[in-house]
Amino acid sequence: MPSLGVNIDHVATIRQARRTVEPDPVAAAVLAELAGADGITVHLREDRRHIQDRDLRILRQTVRTHLNLEMAATDEMVALALEIKPDYITLVPENRQEVTTEGGVDILSQQQRLKDLVQTLQGAEIPVSLFIDADQAQIEAAAQIEAQFIELHTGPYAEAQLGRPQAEALNHLHQACQGAISLGLRVNAGHGLTYWNVHPVACLAGMEELNIGHTIISRAVLVGLERAVREMKAAISGQLHRI
């Protein structure tokens, strides 16, 4: 079964709603790890709408599993990554107007720039993952620029109607996953995954890590973060029968 990267951005979203000090995403990361999270993921956005630089710096010292930094492919973020040295970084597209990340990175339109960026980061021993749509041309481009990982965008699967559309979206992810692995890429996935739709994605052969945020933090508000993380671990392995 793939590992679980818990995205704690929305703990910071609640804090930033009042620009105060609570709840602290650093405390959330500790609790998530105690409950079985295999990794902690944060997205430091250019507009700093949730996670702050301070969070990233402290998390680097306190996270005991691995720290995945989601970031835009900007000079500012590359400099910060080189300084903080997360365990890996995931490149995501960023648009100030969006509520959340809306689509994958278009590698094809900026191949040389991304290749240089991957070389810089991986040269500093920070593996790079690219959040991309399950699209063969993007997968081939990710392999060409020699990124170690891709993260397949599971949004279309998550949003597909139950039944045939969802089955087709899952098959699309399966093909993309196998195609990527055959090109030497390692494969993660995420976005829009929930307790109810995660298990089929977790069963895709070769899937390494699922990055999940919103559904876990939403449930944590009601039942506590440790229980929410434990339940997600169970959902990934198909052992959550009732929620």
Return residues touching ligand PXP (CB under 6 A): 7, 9, 43, 70, 90, 92, 100-101, 131, 151, 190-193, 211-215
Catalytic residue, from 10, 43, 50, 153: name it. Answer: 43
Smallest gap from residue 218 Cβ to ligand PXP (A): 9
Catalytic residue, from 50, 191, 209, 231: name it. Answer: 191
DSSP for 30-65, written as a single string: HHHHHTT-SEEEEE--TT-SSS-HHHHHHHHHH-SS
Smallest gap from residue 43 Cβ to ligand PXP (A): 5
Catalytic residue, from 10, 33, 50, 70: name it. Answer: 70
Select 23 or 190, whichever has its Cβ closest to ligand PXP.
190
As a whole number of angstroms, the distance between CA 188 and CA 150 comes to: 6
As a whole number of angstroms, the distance between CA 30 and CA 32 comes to: 5
As a whole number of angstroms, the distance between CA 92 and CA 105 comes to: 6
Amino acid at site 162: L
Q: Compute φ and ψ for 19, nearest 5 degrees.
A: 50, 50
Smallest gap from residue 90 Cβ to ligand PXP (A): 5
CA nearest 12: which of 37, 57, 21, 100? 21
25-34 and 53-62 are packed helices; what angle lies between their axes, rounded to 10 degrees?
Answer: 30
As a whole number of angstroms, the distance between CA 69 and CA 40 comes to: 9
Smallest gap from residue 123 Cβ to ligand PXP (A): 23
Smallest gap from residue 156 Cβ to ligand PXP (A): 13
Question: How would you classify the pairing of strands 186-190 and 88-91?
Answer: unpaired
| Residue 191 designated active-site | yes
| Residue 10 designated active-site | no
| Residue 98 designated active-site | no
Residues involved in catalysis: 43, 70, 191
